[in-house]
Chains A and B, each alone.
Chain A
Amino acid sequence: MRSLNPGLKLLATVIASLMLSLTYNVPVNLVVAASCLLVTLLTPGVNRRRLALTMVPFALTALAFFTTGLFFGTAGDASGVQTSAFGQRTLYATDWTTAMQLASRVLAYGGLGVLFAFTSNAFELVMSLMQQFRLPPKFAYGVLAAYHFFPVVTEEFTVVGAALKVRGVRASPFSTKRLLPMLAHALERSESLAMAMESRGFEDGAPRRVAFRVPVRARDVFFLVAVPAAIAAGLILLR
C-alpha cells in the first residue's frame, strides 16, 4: 500500500466513498471497513497504537449515528405508532435498518480514511497531485510550506492560551482574543515565507524540473480500477 501512487490512491478512495455514499448496502459497508482495516494492519510500519486510538472517535461517531438512526429513522415499519416531538418512536418500533445503514457507512468511510492516512506521505501526495493532476506548483509548494508549520502553530495555540491566562483572561478556543494573535502571526509568517521562496528563485510559470518523481505504475492503475470494481461487484452480489 505504501508504494502506491498517492494521487491515484486518493482518487480511488474518493470514488469508493462516493459509490458507498450513493447506496445503502450494509454488508458492503462492513466488508469495506473490515478489509480496509485489515490491509492497514498488514502494511508494515503502521503504528498500531495510533491506529487503535484513531478508531475510538470512529466507533463513537458510528455509535452516535446508530442511536440517531435507531430512534429517529424514517424507514421503520412503524405505521400507527404514536410519534412524539422529533418523531421519536417507542422502542418496539425502532428502526434497526436505518441505524445499521448509517452506522456501517461511517465505519466504511473510516476504514477508507484510515487506509489512506496511515499509508500515505504528505509530501509524496502533494508531489503526485502536482505531477499527475496538474496542481499548479505555486499551490503545491505554498501548501507544503504552510503544512510544515503545523507543529509550530500547535505550540502557538498553547502559548497564546498561556499568555491570556497570565493576564487573567479566560478564552475559549474560538475566542477572537485567541484567534487574532494567532492569525496575525500566520499573516507575518506567510509573508516572510512567500518572500523567502521568491527570493530563492521560486517562480510560477517558469519551466520546472522535479527532483522527486512520483511514478505511475501498472499496479497504481490496477488499484484505481480494482477498488471501485470490487465495490460495484459487492453492491450487485451482496444484497
Chain B
Amino acid sequence: MAQSKGAEKKDYGWKLQEIVFVAMSCIVLGVVYLAAVYLSAFINTAGTPVGLGFLGNELLFGVWFMASTFAAYIIQKPGVALVSEILAALIEVLLGNMYGPMVIVTGLVQGIGSEIAFAAFRYRRFDWTTMTLAAFLCCVISFVWSFVRSGYGELAFGLLVLFFVIRLVSSVVFCDVICKVVADRLAGTGLLKGYALGRSHE
C-alpha cells in the first residue's frame, strides 16, 4: 500500500509501521523517564525548604521533548515532530499521567517548537544544527508556556534565568545529544533501513 508510488514522489503520509514505532519509542522513553523521576524526586525534596524544589523538574524537562526530536530525526518528514509529541502526550494520558489531560496541550505546544526548527530548513537538513535548534526552540516555547501553565510570571527574574539555563542544558543534553547519538548508533546497526535516517547512513 505504502510502496505503490513512493518511488520518486516523496511520501509525506504516515505508514502504520512508523506510527507504531513512534508510539513504541514513546513507551520506552516513558519508562526511562519514570525511572529518572525517582532520582529527581530527591533533588525536589532537598530543594523544597529553600524554595528551589522545582529544580529537579527543570533538570528532567528535556526528556519531555525527546520523542519529538528522536522521531523527527529518524523519519525526517514534515509534521513528524509535532505529531509524535502529541502521540507521546496521548500515551502519557493513557498511562495515567498525574498531570492529566493538560499534558496534551503541553505536548502540542512543545511539538510546535521542534517542528518550527525542522521546517526552517524545509525538512532537508537533519543534523547537529537542526537538532540543536529544535532543542533550543522546544525549550524557549515550553518556557513561555510555563508562564501560562505554572504561573512563572509570578517569580523573581533571577530565578527564572536560573530555571531557563537549567532547562536549556537539559533540553540540549536529552533531545539533542542523547537522541542524535542513540539514533545514529541505531542506524549503524542496520535496523533502520526502512527509514530516512537508515537510508542516509548506507
Binding site for B on A (CB under 8 A): 10, 13-14, 17-18, 21-22, 24, 54, 57-58, 60-61, 63-65, 67-75, 83, 85-88, 98, 101-102, 105-106, 109-110, 112-118, 122, 125-126, 129, 138-139, 142-143, 145-147, 149-150, 153-154, 156-157, 173-174, 176, 178-180, 182-184, 186-191, 193-195, 197-198, 202-204
Q: Give CA–CA (A189, B22) in the complex, Å.
A: 12
B: interface residue count bin: 35 or more
Against A, the Cβ 8 Å flags (1 = close, 0 = not) of B149-160 are 111011111110
Decide yes or no whether B24 CB sits under 8 A from chain A. yes
Seed contacts A73-B156, A74-B155, A147-B27; 13 additional CB < 8 Å A-B pairs: A10-B93, A67-B51, A68-B159, A73-B154, A101-B151, A105-B150, A117-B97, A143-B90, A150-B95, A174-B32, A176-B178, A187-B186, A190-B21
A-B pairs with lowest CB-CB distance, top 4:
A113-B100, A64-B53, A87-B156, A71-B51
Are B178 and A68 neighbours in the complex by a CB distance under 8 Å?
no
Q: Does A187 lie within 8 Å of B21, measured CB to CB?
A: yes
B165 proximal to A (CB < 8 A): no
Q: A180 contacts B91, CB within 8 Å?
A: no
Q: How far is the CA of A58 from the CA of B97 in the complex (A)?
A: 12
Least CB distance, B81 to chain A, in whole angstroms: 15
B127, chain A: closest CB distance, angstroms: 18
Docked CA distance A138–B1 (Å)? 13
Number of A-B contacts (CB under 8 A): 246
Query: Known contacts A68-B54, A72-B159, A194-B17; is A58 also within 8 Å of B105 by CB?
Result: no
| B98: contacting residue among A14, A114, A154, A174, CB under 8 A | A114
Q: Is B7 on the interface with A (CB-CB < 8 A)? A: no
Q: Once the chains are docked, how many angstroms separate the CA of A24 from the CA of B149?
A: 11
| B interface residue numbers (CB < 8 A to A) | 1, 14-17, 19-21, 23-28, 30-32, 35-36, 39, 41, 44-45, 47-54, 57, 63, 87, 90-91, 93-102, 104-105, 148-151, 153-159, 162, 174, 178, 181-182, 185-186, 189, 191-192, 194
**Contact between chains at A197 and B48 (CB < 8 Å):** no
Q: For chain A, what secondary structure do more than half of its interface residues adopt (helix, strand, loop), or is it mixed?
A: helix
A102 touches B178 (CB 8 A): no
Q: How far, in angstroms, from A173 to B28 measured CA to CA in the complex?
A: 11
Provide the residues of chain A in CB contact with B26, threshold 8 Å.
Answer: 146
